[in-house]
Structure 1
Amino acid sequence: MDYGVREPARLGQTRIPDGRLLGWAEWGPADGTPVLLCPGAATSRWLGFGGGVVDSAGIRLISVDRPGLGASDPAPGRSLTSWVTDIRHLIQERALNAPSAVGFSQGAPFALALAANRLVNAVAVVSGSDELAHPRFAHSLTPQVKNMVDAVAADPYAAAASFAGFGSADTLWDLIITTSPEIDRAVYTDPVFQHSFRRAMDEAFSQGPAGYARDTALAMGRWPFDPAAVAVPVDLWYGQQDTSPAHSPDLGESLTRMIPTAARHLLPDAAGSLLWTHAEAVLRTLLGRAR
């Protein structure tokens, strides 16, 4: 089956004012409507989505490596706030006029941080990681996730060092395959998709595990913005078959209530891989909201 993964049309790096390079990949027409992709955990710019949609929809999809992953230089001590500063520079340097954003899985808080700071005009959160450290989830996390949240609350830098200890492409691939429902495994083990997924993971760890570990510490901590202050349209997409303990424990229900501009799409026959199984619906809804 075609899950919409394609080779990037363009690859590059952009230097920002502090001298660091941000790596990116693009699909779709170079003069298309810009959509920034914040990828999931432990992946890099190489794994896109919607390859059968972006050209016909006129979308310029730009996937950006977070600092320390793939082709982006590390930024020790980075935060969701510093991520916003990085992307503000990228938008200016690359003349990305009125972009929207997609945040997949662990990329969700990074996309919402852009929305909270009005850098994007609409956001699609897809199988997104929620604010797991928020008190509303105090009694609904799995023991493993709760231990990670507690570790970050106690000492985020020590927690990141601990996360680095099990951060590798092979370890996380095995974890994904063993904890995913059959509907997701069918996507992830498709030969074409698996090749792209594994390549993106290998590149993500090309500088070592520190970038992944810092991402995970940020995702397991409190967000430095109030979801209620997000003023741009937000669509939250979840599959009822999603079994990931690191996504949203209530599949976005409470987050939808917190964001005044949010709409939730709960798909009964989808799971965590819906970025690839429902790419056209995600992208065309996002375009409609942005306009």
Structure 2
Amino acid sequence: MTTASTSMLPLHDGRRLAYLRMGRAGGRPVLFCHGTPGSRLFRPPESIPESLGVDLVTADRPGYGGSGPQPHRRLLDWPNDAVALADRLGWTRFAVAGVSGGGPHALACAVRYPDRVAAVGLVSSVAPFWPDALDGMLATTRRGFEWAHRSPALLRFGALLAARRPDRFVRGLGSELPDCDRRILARPEIARMAAENARAALTGDAMAREMVLLRRDWEFRPSDVVVPVELWHGELDRNVPVAHGRRLAAALPNCRATFVPDAGHYLIHDIWADVLAAVSRHLDAPGSRDPLWR
């Protein structure tokens, strides 16, 4: 068993990438992409990847936690960091999963490196924005994406204010959530993890820069993703309304979608095992395709 611990990877451009590894050493490799905002500390209980035989790594994207910023980055820049990390770990072929704003980053890995990425898992993921993409969003999230489009400087200022009081920011956002999400976040073990994740994530303006990134043209289309995609979305999600999940499921060529009627944005805390099992099974026969995807 690998006990969760943080390591640093020096990158070719002088930045460093902070990552956390847990689960089964030498097991089926899965890279997890946290949400927006988020950090490597957003993770499942250690017993889950261990019991599934998964070698799980979570990493801070640029500007979050212990990872250095990457000015003017594009969505398609993240896969280069991801593959540099995979090379460091000795992973030839791996699966990628992402939650919320991490979903597009996971898809970007599959677009850029289809020969390295065996499958993608998406939970509560953002889709490419369309005219009605903000309908049904929480007021705070909607306002952030509106600022991302109209006034990125104002959004960065708001992110810096949130970084001064991350606990207050999290409490304020929580007050807007549906009951199903509040019940999940009230669990003591999840509350502790969410608090430490927020403190690591909200340390600067990385959240604002990433919201601008997600709001703009991704420079690829979901239809460009050729690897299998496993998707889950709660129908009561108000952070990322279920319309995003439905649009992704319709656009992705090889997607198996599960829509959960009574779940919200924090559905992942109830389905960590399902997500890791589903994406990692595509690694059981390297180089082959499950008949489902033919």
TM-score, structure 1 length as denominator?
0.86
- 2:142 is equivalent to residue 152 of structure 1: no
Map 1:141-290 onto structure 2 (within 5 A): 148-154=144-150, 156=152, 159-167=155-163, 168-205=165-202, 208-244=203-239, 247-290=240-283
Shift of 1:265: 0.4
Instruction: Give a deviation string over 1:100-137, Cα, whole Å, max 9, x none.
Output: 11111111111111111124211110111222x23463
The code of the aligned residue for 2:14 comes to: G
The code of the aligned residue for 1:172 comes to: F
Which 4+ residue blocks in structure 1 deviate beyond 3 angstroms?
A: 135-168
Deviates more, 1:224-233 or 1:269-278: 269-278
SS at structure 2 position matched to 1:252: helix
- Flag the 1:164–1:134 CA change in 2: closer, same or farther, 3 A: farther
Shift of 1:50: 4.9
Instruction: Give a deviation string over 1:77-112, Cα, whole Å, max 9, x none.
Output: 222122122222222222123111111111111111
Aligned equivalent of 1:30: 25
Task: Tell me how far apart the structure 1 counterparts of residues 262 and 136 of structure 2 sit (CA, whole Å).
Answer: 23
8 Å Cα contact 1:105-1:127 kept in structure 2: yes
- 2:102 is equivalent to residue 116 of structure 1: no
Cα-Cα RMSD? 2.4
- 2:128 is equivalent to residue 128 of structure 1: no
Aligned residues: 280
Instruction: Give a deviation string over 1:219-275, Cα, whole Å, max 9, x none.
Output: 22221211111001111101122222xx14515112111110112101123222221
- Percent identical among aligned pairs is 27
- Flag the 1:289–1:75 CA change in 2: closer, same or farther, 3 A: same
SS at structure 2 position matched to 1:48: coil
- Flag the 1:86–1:161 CA change in 2: closer, same or farther, 3 A: farther
SS at structure 1 position matched to 2:243: coil
SS at structure 2 position matched to 1:22: strand
Instruction: Give a deviation string over 1:125-155, Cα, whole Å, max 9, x none.
Output: 0111222x23463767677656544543456
- Flag the 1:145–1:280 CA change in 2: closer, same or farther, 3 A: closer
TM-score, structure 2 length as denominator?
0.85
The code of the aligned residue for 1:243 comes to: R
- Flag the 1:139–1:242 CA change in 2: closer, same or farther, 3 A: closer
Task: Tell me how far apart the structure 2 counterparts of residues 226 and 191 of structure 1 sit (CA, whole Å).
Answer: 39
8 Å Cα contact 2:148-2:211 kept in structure 1: no
Deviates more, 1:157-166 or 1:7-16: 157-166
SS at structure 2 position matched to 1:270: coil
- Flag the 1:138–1:52 CA change in 2: closer, same or farther, 3 A: closer
8 Å Cα contact 2:36-2:207 kept in structure 1: yes
Aligned equivalent of 1:58: 53
Instruction: Give a deviation string over 1:182-240, Cα, whole Å, max 9, x none.
Output: 222122122222111101111223xx322222122212222121111100111110112
- Flag the 1:232–1:69 CA change in 2: closer, same or farther, 3 A: same
Aligned equivalent of 1:72: 67
